[in-house]
Amino acid sequence: MIEFQHVSFAYEKGREVIRDLSFRIGDGESVGLIGANGAGKSTVMKLMLGLVSGEGKILVDGEELTKQNLSLIRRKLGFVLQNSDNQMFMPTVYEDMMFAPLNYMLSREEAEKRVDAVLGRLGLQELKYRHNHRISGGEKRMAAIATVLAMEPEMILMDEPSSALDPYNRRLVINAIRELGQTKLISSHDLDMILDTCDRVILLSGGEIAADGPAEEILRDRALLESHHLELPLRLADK
């Protein structure tokens, strides 16, 4: 469970990008975070991960996020970055996947078992020893998800997981996301993908919540979406 209580944040003094934000995500929920560019989606994720800190309280499993418990809380949260190149910094997929389990003091054997299990689950066994810079964009995105799953986080945060992917790879990523049992928070402009993967949607606008409710309901509200520089998902617009 993650909870924001009156959280505000500004990169520059006097220019708040997040304003008095309060919401709660329960265990097992799959939440889409949508909004126009600059609405504050990425900042919400950074706040959640303690990469930036603002005013107000952020609670993870009832525990307030502070500098002291940052590493413990980060262990519970897996973050898939928008740019997989920035996530995959080890030479091979295998070494990248081993990175987090080893940091969390798992033995090499245990870490390896975990890596194999995740690769098997995502059907990525053939990527195991491939060099990160020699795999395609779609493979890299799946591998980035795999590196996070190898941490066995309780909650997964994803920043634009379907961006820059061709339809086939996009579908692979969507299917993979749907099969994840963890609590999910997915930030994206790809509203079709949000419709496919999320039960609930939080619409951000100017750092505030403009709407929060069932995905089917919010993503069908043409007037609401258009007033916040978004469009109906293609699938719904056709109807």
Q: Site residues (CB under 8 A) for another protein?
A: 49, 51, 71, 74-75, 77-79, 81, 83, 85-87, 89, 91, 95, 98-100, 102-104, 108, 131, 133-134, 147-148, 151
User: Do 203 and 212 meet the contact criterion of CB atoms below 8 Å apart?
Assistant: yes
Q: Burial, 210: exposed, middle or buried (Cβ in 10 Å; 0-12, 13-18, 19+)?
A: middle
CB of 49 to another protein, least distance (A): 6
Cβ distance to another protein smaller for residue 73 or 174: 73
CB of 153 to another protein, least distance (A): 10
CB of 148 to another protein, least distance (A): 8
Cβ distance to another protein smaller for residue 161 or 233: 161
Expressed in angstroms, the distance from the first to the final Cα of the chain is 36
Q: Which residues pair with 12 in a beta bridge?
A: 15
Cβ distance to another protein smaller for residue 11 or 89: 89
Distances (CA, A) of 6 to 24, 55, 154, 165: 11, 8, 24, 36
Element (H, E) at 146: helix 137-149
Whole-angstrom distance, CA of residue 172 vs CA of residue 111 = 25
DSSP states along 159-206: ESTTTT--HHHHHHHHHHHHH--SEEEEE-S-HHHHHHH-SEEEEEET
Cβ distance to another protein smaller for residue 131 or 229: 131
CB of 140 to another protein, least distance (A): 13
CB of 166 to another protein, least distance (A): 20
Cβ distance to another protein smaller for residue 4 or 79: 79
